[in-house]
Each structure stands twice: as structure tokens, then as C-alpha cells.
Amino acid sequence: MLMPAYALLGLLFLHPVHATEAEVEFNAKSGRLEVALRLDVLDAELIDKVASRISVPDAKPDPTAERDTDDEAVSLQTRRRLVYLARNFGVGAKPPRDAAGRYHWVGEEPDGAYVWWYFEIDVAGVASRPDDEGGQPSAAPNRLRCTLLRDHDSRYVHRVRLLGTSPPVTLQFDARNTVRTASW
């Protein structure tokens, strides 16, 4: 009886659960999505590793970047994170050409085995509706895209909780569902 239980327990460890969680709220005054992204520390390190290969043309310190003793290094890492996030988490089916410029770093906060990344996405004038390809300004975007860490492992599941909705809405993204409809 104990042997099958140990075998099942062993199988659980062989099949890791890859998941991220985010809370997103639309701020109508600023025209931005405010995002709190909760990552496993190892996933955050993996994103930083992938992002380190991203070429960032302007490495001047970002005024919204967290400050450290080495502003240039922190700023470059922050800019690379923002480019990665712009490519893999945002509004619409695919990122616009100027997507990275619309992302603003707020900060990060360790939380045990996790880390929270806080950033904002300027969505004013971004085409987010299927019939809004002309880039007409819209209110809250109605489509979100999430492909975080998909290039590493297709089994990742991402849950995005939309704040300010009634009833509360949680969207789930996976390999087959990378774009979801969001109703605010």
C-alpha cells in the first residue's frame, strides 16, 4: 500500500507545475494598465537570462528604474525586462512596434520563493479590439496577450486576475490560449 503512494508522490515531483499569477487593473485617469506579476524566483532569473540577450539601443538610466549603486547596470537590466515583457505580456494579439516604450517599470518586491514585478502599460491609443486595427484610441483594452516563458517550456500556465471587475474575473493563458478577451 505504501509503495504506490510513494510512486505517486515521486511522479508529482517529476511533473513540475509552471505557473505565474498577475493582477491587472485599468487606470482610466492615466490610461495605463497597472500590473503586479508574481513569479517564482527561478522563473524571474530565467526571464532575466533570456532578456540579457536582448539588444537595447539606449542604455541611459531609466528615470523610473529602481536605483542601486550601479545605475547603468540596473537600468540596462530593467530595460531588457521591459522589452521582454512588451513582447510577451500586453494588449492585443501582437505587440505594436513601439511596445517597449509604452512599458514603465515601477519596481520589484521579494516574497519568499517568489518575486513581484510591478509595471505599467500605457494603453492610450493602442489597438486592442479585433475591429480596431487602425489604432483608434480606446478605453480599457478588451484583449490581453500572455506568452511569458513560452519559449522555454510550453506547459506554463498564467493566471491574470482583472481587478475592478464585477464579478471578479480571472483569465487563464496557456500554449493554446495566448490571447484572451478581457471585460472591465
What residues does each domain of the chain span?
A: 17-125+132-181
Position with higher pLDDT, 57 vs 140: 140
Q: Are strands 169-173 and 179-181 parallel, antiparallel or unpaired?
A: unpaired
Cα angle for residues 116, 100, 161 (degrees, 5° grid): 40
Give the C-alpha separation, 184 to 182, whole Å.
6
Give the C-alpha separation, 153 to 47, whole Å.
12
CB 109 within 8 A of CB 140: no
Q: Are strands 157-162 and 19-27 parallel, antiparallel or unpaired?
A: parallel
pLDDT in tens, 155-178: 899 999 999 888 889 999 999 999
Q: State the pLDDT at residue 125.
A: 65
Lookup result for grid cell 504506490: 4
Q: At residue 12, does pLDDT exceed 70? A: no
Q: Mean pLDDT in the chain?
A: 80
Q: Residue 1: which pLDDT band, with cuts at 50, 70 and 90?
A: low
Q: State the pLDDT at residue 6.
A: 57
Q: State the pLDDT at residue 80.
A: 93
Q: What is the DSSP string of 15-53?
A: S---EEEEEEEEETTTTEEEEEEEEEHHHHHHHHHHHTT
Position with higher pLDDT, 6 vs 118: 118
